[in-house]
């Protein structure tokens, strides 16, 4: 057995059977090992960035580790955007890069490059990984692989990178002599004062649960049961948008500028208790004036990441550094709240008033397309959104059904994420996918259409085309005197004919320019197809908070009498 054989077999024994990457000389032995293993499946992209995003989508959909690989040099560098994405969004992904033979190294200090396509990818990756190392001794393969697996999956999950020289990949190893990795004894979890939490829930008049990406999908059902028993309103982060999808107690996502009006109002201005579980509470969620955030509320934070907790939101906040799963497992499934019916009634009235106001806005035409998509997609679909205005339309208006997943590139915010991530998500849980992108984002990884055709992957693609980079255009309007450089046609930007491009790849495609035409799109079978939606050039995502405003005071502004009435509620 070679080192490459050992690595592939290691993943297969952990039920990680799909590998995403692009062939190259320095990774050829590893790819050959995937090919020869009957339990492994190799999936070749057309740019290594696509492979890295596919591994992220795989991890998101499956709830387990993803694997991506590349050759050395430019191939390894192309992986880095996905490495960063996995790191920032806490996705356990192991990246494997090929490298020069160890005997090719000159060891001359200061030499820029020691061989063709050589690059020090380990040092480049260290700031965006939990662990990065070069395996330069074949006898340490078991140790480094077990260590990488442990680190990627423990605590706050994230990316790791193993750089493996070509001669190490092909080295035959003696399995009996391999040294294993001993997982360090985990520090005892911080004791949670559950009685403090239960007492806080009991005394609060307006309790609210904030759920973030730190809540593992495997913990959803237990936390949902606790919330339902206690009749607690819920607000999520953008990345946890599929938590309690379609349930009456969920009031949208807190997303700063483009978040749900109701979620922002309940969180920032009305709740008197916030139980924040696995949510970062960064500036996008609190607003830039952090001191104005939830002034009337007691804040209890549950987070595994000590650095997140160092970023205090309120001086008197209560913190517990503990894995959200461990915390949720420790919750007693009993009722602790007093009667929350008046609070729930207010939340429902607020949602009705605020959503009703938005529903009639002419700027919300794109949201109507999204609502249509949510009605048409079966509950078994993975839904993946790219980055841009369409991301906000999807977060605001895609009405998730129970069981559906809604995947984003969150912290990294990578344009071009959705198409390859949809491919990975399909292989993660076997469900068909809806990929929603924009004219800017889709061109970033449009070459992966060939991957979809080659492997006959059931992905429905919707490109929202307003022929500009809409979110950047708004920044230019607000702060750069409407100089639209690089964002619109005639200003060093243009979009292709997406229908013709998709048809050239052999994908059935059509174009719609109004809601009536969209209503005639059936999406009835599982074949890949593309729909280009033509939008006005001046489309915007609303509601939107402007810099310095309280995040619940979003444009277009709610009539003053309605807002004053909502703000006056005390419960």
550 is a domain residue: no
Longest CA–CA separation in the chain, Å: 77
Which residues touch 404 (CB under 8 Å, ≥6 apart)? 242, 245, 377, 379, 380, 381, 382, 383
544 is a domain residue: no
CA pair distance 413, 429, nearest whole angstrom: 23
Residue pointed to by tokens 């339309």: 393
Same domain, residue pair 200 and 316: yes
Same domain, residue pair 369 and 329: no
CA pair distance 340, 233, nearest whole angstrom: 9
- Asked whether 365 and 535 are in contact (CB, 8 A), the reply is yes
Q: What is the pLDDT of residue 254?
A: 83
Identify which of 364, 413, 359, 365 has the alpha carbon closest to the alpha carbon of residue 385: 413
Q: What is the pLDDT of residue 550?
A: 87
Q: What is the pLDDT of residue 167?
A: 98
Q: What is the pLDDT along the chain (571 residues), one digit of tens a residue?
A: 999 999 999 999 999 999 999 999 999 999 999 999 999 999 999 999 999 999 999 999 999 999 999 999 999 999 999 999 999 999 999 999 999 999 988 778 888 888 888 899 999 999 999 999 999 999 999 999 999 999 999 999 999 999 999 999 999 999 999 999 999 887 777 899 999 999 999 999 999 999 999 999 889 999 999 999 999 999 999 999 999 887 889 999 886 679 999 999 999 999 999 999 999 998 888 888 888 899 999 999 999 999 999 999 999 999 999 999 999 999 999 999 999 999 999 999 999 999 999 998 999 999 999 999 999 999 899 999 999 999 999 999 999 998 888 999 999 999 999 999 999 999 999 999 999 999 999 999 999 999 999 999 999 999 999 999 999 999 999 999 999 999 999 999 999 999 999 999 999 999 999 999 998 888 877 899 999 999 999 999 999 988 888 889 999 999 999 999 999 998 7
Identify which of 193, 192, 198 has the alpha carbon closest to the alpha carbon of residue 334: 198
Domain end (from 336, 356, 376): 356
Structure tokens at 17: 């059977």
pTM of the model: 0.96
Q: What is the pLDDT of residue 115?
A: 82
Give phi and psi for 498, each to the nearest 5: -65, -35
DSSP codes, 389-428: HHHHHHHHH--PPTT-EEE---SS--TT-HHHHHHHHHHH
Same domain, residue pair 141 and 267: no
Same domain, residue pair 203 and 333: yes
Q: What is the pLDDT of residue 292?
A: 87
Please return the burial class of 56, using the count of CB atoms within 10 Å of its CB with bins 0-12, 13-18 and 19+: buried
Same domain, residue pair 133 and 200: no
Q: What is the pLDDT of residue 256?
A: 65
Q: Which residue range forms the structural domain that includes residue 52?
A: 3-177
| CATH number where 303 lies | 3.40.50.1220
Same domain, residue pair 350 and 380: no
271 is a domain residue: yes
Domain end (from 306, 334, 356): 356
Same domain, residue pair 352 and 459: no
How many structural domains are present in the chain?
3
Same domain, residue pair 408 and 530: yes
Same domain, residue pair 133 and 227: no
Cis peptide before 298 (omega within 30 of 0): no
558 is a domain residue: no
Q: What is the pLDDT of residue 107?
A: 75
* Bridge partner residues of 16 (DSSP): none
- Asked whether 148 and 94 are in contact (CB, 8 A), the reply is yes
Q: CA dist 198 to 322, 335, 508, Å?
A: 17, 9, 55
Same domain, residue pair 421 and 447: yes
247 is a domain residue: yes
Q: What is the pLDDT of residue 116?
A: 85
Name the strands in the sheet holding 159-165, side by side, starting at the edge strand that comes first in the sequence.
41-44, 18-21, 66-70, 93-99, 159-165, 131-134
Beta-sheet strands, E only, within 205-305: 207-211, 234-236, 250-253, 273-277, 298-303
Same domain, residue pair 98 and 226: no
Same domain, residue pair 24 and 158: yes
49 is a domain residue: yes
Domain end (from 315, 335, 356): 356
206 is a domain residue: yes
151 is a domain residue: yes
CA pair distance 200, 336, nearest whole angstrom: 9
- The terminus-to-terminus CA distance of the chain in angstroms comes to 68
3-state secondary structure of 570: coil
Measured from the Cβ of residue 22, the count of other Cβ atoms closer than 10 Å reads 22
- Asked whether 22 and 46 are in contact (CB, 8 A), the reply is yes
| CATH number where 451 lies | 3.40.50.970
Stretch (H or E) spanning 384: strand 382-385
């Amino acid at each position: 057995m070679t080192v490459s054989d050992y690595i592939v077999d290691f993943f297969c024994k952990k039920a990680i059977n799909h590998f995403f990457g692009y062939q190259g000389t320095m990774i050829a032995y590893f790819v050959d090992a995937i090919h020869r293993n009957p339990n492994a499946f190799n999936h070749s992209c057309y740019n290594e960035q696509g492979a890295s995003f596919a591994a992220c989508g795989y991890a998101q959909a499956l709830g387990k580790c993803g694997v991506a690989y590349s050759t050395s040099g430019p191939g390894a560098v192309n992986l880095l955007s996905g490495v960063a994405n996995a790191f920032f969004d806490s996705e356990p992904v192991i990246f494997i890069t090929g490298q020069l033979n160890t005997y090719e190294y000159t060891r001359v200090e200061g030499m820029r490059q020691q061989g063709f396509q050589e690059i020090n990818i380990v040092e480049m990756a260290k700031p965006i990984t939990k662990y990065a190392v070069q395996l330069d001794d074949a006898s340490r393969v078991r140790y480094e692989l077990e260590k990488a697996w442990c680190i990627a999956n423990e605590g706050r999950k994230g990316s790791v990178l193993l750089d493996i020289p070509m001669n190490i990949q092909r080295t035959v190893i003696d399995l009996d002599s391999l040294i294993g990795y001993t997982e360090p004894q985990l520090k005892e979890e911080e004791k949670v004062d559950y009685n403090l939490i239960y007492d806080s829930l009991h005394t609060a008049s307006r309790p609210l649960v904030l759920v973030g990406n730190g809540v593992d999908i495997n913990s959803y059902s237990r936390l949902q049961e606790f919330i339902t028993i206690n009749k607690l309103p819920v607000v999520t982060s953008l990345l946890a948008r599929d938590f309690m999808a379609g349930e009456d107690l969920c009031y949208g996502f807190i997303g700063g500028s483009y978040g749900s009006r109701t979620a922002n109002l309940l969180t920032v201005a009305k709740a008197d208790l916030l139980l924040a579980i696995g949510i970062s509470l960064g500036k996008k969620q609190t607003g830039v004036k952090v001191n104005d955030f939830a002034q009337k509320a007691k804040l209890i934070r549950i987070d595994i990441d000590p650095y997140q907790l160092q970023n205090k939101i309120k001086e008197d906040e209560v913190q517990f550094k503990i894995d959200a799963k461990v915390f949720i497992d420790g919750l007693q499934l009993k009722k602790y709240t007093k009667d929350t019916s008046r609070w729930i009634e207010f939340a429902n009235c607020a949602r009705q008033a605020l959503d009703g106001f938005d529903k009639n806005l002419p700027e919300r035409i794109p949201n109507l397309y999204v609502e249509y998509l949510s009605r048409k997609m079966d509950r078994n679909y993975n839904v993946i959104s790219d980055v841009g205005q369409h991301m906000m339309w999807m977060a605001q208006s895609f009405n998730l059904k129970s069981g559906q997943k809604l995947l984003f590139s969150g912290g990294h915010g990578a344009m071009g994420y959705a198409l390859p991530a949809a491919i990975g998500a399909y292989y993660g849980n076997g469900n068909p996918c809806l990929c929603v992108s924009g004219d800017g984002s889709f061109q970033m990884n449009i070459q992966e259409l060939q991957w979809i055709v080659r492997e006959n992957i059931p992905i429905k693609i919707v490109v929202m085309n307003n022929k500009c980079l809409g979110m950047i255009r708004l920044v230019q309007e607000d702060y750069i005197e409407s100089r639209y450089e690089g964002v619109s046609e005639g200003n060093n930007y243009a979009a292709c004919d997406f229908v013709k491009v998709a048809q050239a790849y052999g994908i059935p495609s059509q174009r719609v320019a109004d809601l009536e035409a969209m209503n005639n799109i059936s999406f009835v079978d599982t074949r890949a197809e593309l729909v280009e939606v033509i939008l006005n050039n001046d489309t915007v995502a609303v509601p939107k908070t402007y810099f310095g405003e309280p995040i619940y005071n979003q444009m277009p502004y709610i009539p003053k009498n309605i807002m004053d009435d909502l703000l006056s509620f005390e419960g």
